Amino acid sequence: MSAGHRLDPADWDTFEAELHRIASACVDRLRAARDLPWRAPPDDMADRVAIRGEGAGTGALFDRILTDIVPYATGNTHPRFFGWVHGTGTATGVAAEMVAATMNANAGGRDQGAAHVERAVIDWLHGVAGWDGGSGLMTTGTSQATILALGCARMRAFPDVRETGIAGLPEIRVYIAEGGHSCVKKALEIMGHGARAVTRIPAPGGRMDVGALRAAIARDRAEGRHPLAVVGTVGSVNLGTFDDIAALADLAEAEGLWLHCDAAFGFWTRLAEAPWRDLSTGIERAHSIATDFHKWMAVPYAAGAVLIRDAALHRATYRERPEYLAAGGAGLAGGDWWATDYGIELSRGFAALKVWATVEGLGQAALGAQITDNCRQAARMGELAEASEYLDLAAPVVSNLCVIHPRAGDADDLAAALQLSGQAVFSTTRVAGRSCLRAAIVNHRTTDADVALAVRALEAEVAGAVRRGAAAK
Ligand SMILES: *Cc1c(COP(=O)(O)O)cnc(C)c1O
């Protein structure tokens, strides 16, 4: 029966029936996303999921997954989830994940379809960026993409760095706006340069001050440091603001610096209507771009990408082919594009399929329309906050982020109350020294009514805080 196939199902028909059952449960869950906000994991969650290692068999296993694990997701599939920058996922992505697991492609290299699909995704990204060609790679997200991009920047400046390491290099500097993402600092720490390699440039109104950047570069040069790269923020995580990328491109060109753009979610405003689609103008001149599919493109986690304009440099930075990875001509070891030549990983999954399926299945127009919707909704949320007697808009809404200062109560307490009641998920942040609730709308399930409902729920919480404050006096 199953001799020689000990890890395959003993009976395929039973497995198929069970798979249909769990697939139905997944579809039910997607269909009911509106009724399924975040639920805190139960106190005994760790015990429930502790590995027993007994080989429960498919039926019992699927029951356990559906009962003990599935209900306790982050809730970012819910239409009023606005916290941090969490993508929502799609049904198309779910199907693609199952197919990718079935193929079980190791997309690190060799002559296989997955490589062509990944390259098709990268080519499409080049088009969205306004590049005519270039290189790139799927990554687990923008954090990894940032390391790969800055690695190329370093390689351009110090072509021997792979051999020599960084000990003999001058102190490098990478410039990023105040409010730019911490993944840049982390990348430089991992690359061995330390956090001091990051210079934060003031960004009044959410845009890097180009004069201050020019002065910082001059100062560093005068003092013997090596200005390496400037990171343009294309959608800041805190406020959804955009640097003037064209101005940064001019400066980078004049100073011989690498221009990298952190476009984790903001990249996708390029698919939206005006005025949002023009926020990132200048990105077409960048040397590298990092972006995510798992945020605003609603592709299931994890999926991001790096784009590198100079393909030869990209390859020179990461290619490593010992004898057991030598390329062969006609066989499976052939193919002229191996992902492992362009990044950190050797073995890697077929994340490109869920991206490809999202774009091909849902269409670029629908994806763009949902970006436009979210930007409009953030603007609407801002208007509602401004009109409210309980709330203030903490900063102008530029794209899909709205940051609200409550006139009473503590922002963390208010956010927690709304999360626990399942009404809406805001995260919190500080703007100009004041703690605020923050909505980053990257949610294709959000309707205008959800926006109004979330603001009303917040107002009710603030009103409660006002009453409690009055009672305490
Ligand atoms: C989320 C985010 C990152 C980090 O991306 P990951 O995909 O989480 O690694 C970097 N920059 C910005 C602006 C982000 O929003």
What residues make up the domain containing 24? 10-73
78 CA from centroid of ligand 1 (Å): 21
CA distance 392 to 405: 5
Residue 220 falls inside a structural domain: yes
Alpha helices in 269-404 (DSSP H): 311-318, 352-362, 364-387
pLDDT-derived band of residue 2, with 50, 70 and 90 as boundaries? very low
Whether 132 and 260 map to the same domain: the answer is yes
**What tens digit of pLDDT does each residue of 340-370 get?**
999 999 999 999 999 999 999 999 999 999 9
In this prediction, what percent of the chain has a pLDDT beyond 70? Answer: 99
Domain assignment of residue 1, yes or no: no
pLDDT tens-digit series, residues 23-71 = 999 999 999 999 999 889 999 999 999 999 999 899 999 999 999 999 9
Rounded CA separation 402/398 (Å)? 8
Query: Where do we find the tokens 């499409």?
Result: 124
pLDDT in tens, 442-470: 999 999 999 999 999 999 999 999 998 88
Q: Is residue 88 part of a domain?
A: no
Same domain, 314 and 426: no
Same domain, 323 and 198: yes
Residue 384 and residue 356 share a domain: no
Q: Are residues 293 and 378 in the same domain?
A: no
198-201 vs 401-406, strand pairing mode: unpaired
Structural tokens at position 387 = 């009109």
Decide if 80 is inside a domain: no
Structure tokens at 25: 């449960």
179 shares its domain with 221: yes
Q: Which amino acid is it at 22?
A: I
* 104, two tokens: 């079980």
Report the C-alpha gap between 349 and 100 in whole angstroms. Answer: 8
pLDDT mean across residues, the chain: 95
Structure tokens at 113: 């379809």
Residue 253 sits in the same domain as residue 388: no
What region does 413 belong to: left with phi over 0, alpha with psi -120 to 50, or beta?
alpha
The pLDDT value recorded for residue 470 is 84
Asked whether residue 135 is assigned to any structural domain, the reply reads yes
Per-residue pLDDT band at 299 (split at 50, 70, 90): very high
C-beta of residue 58 within 8 angstroms of C-beta of residue 51: no
Structural domain total, the chain: 3
Q: What is the mean pLDDT of residues 138-166?
A: 98
Q: Which two tokens stand for residue 141?
A: 């997200």
- 380 CA to middle of ligand 1, Å? 25
Do residues 290 and 137 make contact, with C-beta atoms less than 8 angstroms apart? no
* Domain shared by 334 and 451, yes or no: no
Ligand 1 atom, smallest distance to 266 CA:
13
pLDDT of res. 4: 58
Residue given tokens 């019992």 in the structure block:
60
In this structure, the residue with its CA closest to atom 9 of ligand 1 is: 143
Cα separation, 393 vs 383, in Å, equals 8
pLDDT at 335: 75
* Same-domain pairing of 135 and 205: yes
- Ligand 1 atom with minimal separation from the 144 CA: 9
C-alpha 412 – ligand 1 centre gap (Å)? 22
Q: Are residues 446 and 426 in the same domain?
A: yes
235 and 188: one domain? yes
Domain assignment of residue 81, yes or no: no
What are the residues facing 438 on neighbouring strands?
Answer: 403, 427
Boundary residue ending a domain (362, 387, 410) = 362
**100 located within any domain:** no
Burial class (CB in 10 A: 0-12, 13-18, 19+), 360: middle
Say whether both 331 and 388 belong to one domain.
no
> What pLDDT is recorded for position 64?
95
The predicted model gives 230-250 an average pLDDT of 97
CA torsion sign for 202, 207, 208, 212 is negative
Distance CA 387, CA 384 (A): 5
The rounded Å distance from CA 181 to ligand 1 centre is 7
Within 6 A (CB) of ligand 1 lie 85, 141-143, 181, 183, 235, 237, 262, 264-265, 292, 304
Quick check: is 28 in a domain? Answer: yes
Packing angle between helix 311-318 and helix 142-157, nearest 10 degrees?
Answer: 100
Last residue of one domain, picked from the residues 73, 91, 124: 73
Q: What is the CATH number of the domain that holds 332?
A: 3.40.640.10
Q: Write the CATH number for 451.
A: 3.90.1150.170
pLDDT for the residue numbered 336: 81
Contacts for 333 with CB less than 8 Å, ≥ 6 apart: 110, 111, 326, 327
Ligand 1 atom at minimum distance from 146 CA: 10
* Residue 1, pLDDT above cutoff 60: no
Last residue of one domain, picked from the residues 335, 362, 389: 362
